């Protein structure tokens, strides 16, 4: 099932181009056009502050591809055909999550290369950089289960964007992806600091050795445990929901 889903990606490379275009555009616009006017609480280059946020943002918007792929399989009766043959009931969902994780790894490799081309660097050792990538992929794995659940509950593939975008856009805007929470109004900064995306972004900035978000709050001082806790919580909530919804499809 993982091989089947990856074959779809290879046969539709335009999807990869579309999903890469948005984060690359953000790097160019915010890094070069607005970068000189943006401040980082701890000082440092804004592009190095921005890139870890772009990595995480790409993982978030990837759940749209997950939800769309699942919704298409459901609407075309592919899921019903797979359920009627002699195969593990978990194969479809596990195969989808495995394929999306491989796709996310490809996206990360491409974005790291783009980041290096625009001047981003990791300042710590290779092991710390790999740990940062691991945290980002862990979040993507958790978001995959969110996307699978959305894909199983939407009535048709055309409504996926209607569901995903109103969720993804506020999560991106109310986070530390582009602006540090300390520069926001207090109540808005608190919301941004507790955003699951902010935890992974802050932890990856710390591991990459890039400029951080600053702050003396508990959230700002402990990004690493939160970067693990949030994805685990998302998996614990949405994986059972997705499995239950999948089991109810033929009833």
Look at 230 and 38; give whichever has higher pLDDT. 230
| Alpha-carbon distances, residue 79 vs 85, 90, 237, 248 (angstroms) | 10, 12, 22, 12
Q: Read off the pLDDT band of 203 (50, 70, 90).
A: very high
pLDDT of residue 82: 72
Residue 250 pLDDT > 60, yes or no? no
Per residue in 116-151, pLDDT (tens digit) is 888 888 888 899 999 999 999 999 999 999 999 998
214: left (phi over 0), alpha (psi -120 to 50) or beta: left
Average pLDDT, the chain: 84
**3-state DSSP helix/strand/coil percent for the chain, to nearest 5?**
80, 0, 20
Residue 249 pLDDT > 80, yes or no? no
The stretch 151-163 carries a mean pLDDT of 83
Q: Which residue has the tokens 């900035």?
A: 205
| Alpha-carbon distances, residue 175 vs 128, 135, 184, 198, 211 (angstroms) | 23, 17, 10, 5, 16
Look at 191 and 81; give whichever has higher pLDDT. 191
**CA angle, corner 28, sides to 25 and 31, nearest 5?**
130
To the question of pTM greater than 0.85 for the whole model, the response is yes
Q: Read off the pLDDT band of 236 (50, 70, 90).
A: very high
pLDDT of residue 25: 80
| Alpha-carbon distances, residue 141 vs 107, 120, 188, 228 (angstroms) | 13, 25, 27, 12
How much of the chain exceeds pLDDT 90, in percent? Answer: 27
Q: Read off the pLDDT band of 71 (50, 70, 90).
A: confident
Residue from 219, 234, 25, 213 nearest 150 by CA: 234
pLDDT of residue 87: 67
Contacts of 143 (CB under 8 A, 6+ apart): 59, 60, 62, 63, 66, 234
Hey, what are 56's tokens? 């995480």
Residue 177 pLDDT > 80, yes or no? yes
Tell how far CA 178 is from the center of its chain: 15
pLDDT of residue 10: 65
Distance (Å, whole) CA 14 – CA 37 = 34
Residue 224 pLDDT > 90, yes or no? yes
Instruction: List, as one string, the DSSP characters of 108-153.
Output: HHHHHHHHHHTT----S-HHHHHHHHHHHHHHHHHHHHHHHHHHHH
């Amino acid at each position: 099932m993982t091989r089947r889903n990856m074959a779809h990606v290879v046969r539709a490379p335009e999807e990869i181009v579309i999903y890469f275009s948005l984060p690359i555009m953000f790097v160019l616009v915010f890094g070069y056009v607005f970068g000189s006017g943006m401040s980082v609480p701890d000082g440092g280059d804004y592009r190095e502050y921005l890139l870890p946020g772009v990595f995480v943002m790409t993982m978030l918007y990837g759940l749209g591809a997950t939800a769309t792929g699942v919704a298409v399989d459901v609407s075309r009766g592919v899921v019903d055909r797979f359920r009627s043959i002699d195969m593990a009931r978990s194969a479809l969902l596990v195969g989808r999550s495995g394929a999306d994780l491989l796709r996310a790894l490809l996206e990360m490799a491409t974005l790291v290369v783009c980041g290096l081309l625009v001047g981003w660097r990791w300042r710590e050792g290779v092991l710390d950089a790999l740990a940062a990538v691991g945290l980002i992929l862990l979040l993507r794995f958790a978001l995959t289960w969110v996307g699978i659940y959305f894909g199983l509950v939407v009535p048709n593939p055309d409504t996926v964007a209607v569901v995903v975008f109103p969720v993804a856009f506020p999560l991106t805007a109310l986070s530390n992806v582009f602006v540090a929470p300390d520069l926001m109004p207090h109540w808005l900064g608190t919301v941004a600091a507790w955003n699951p995306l902010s935890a992974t972004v802050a932890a990856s900035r710390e591991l990459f050795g890039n400029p951080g978000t600053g702050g003396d709050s508990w959230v700002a001082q402990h990004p690493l445990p939160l970067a693990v806790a949030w994805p685990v919580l998302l998996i614990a909530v949405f994986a059972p929901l997705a499995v239950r919804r999948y089991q109810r499809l033929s009833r």
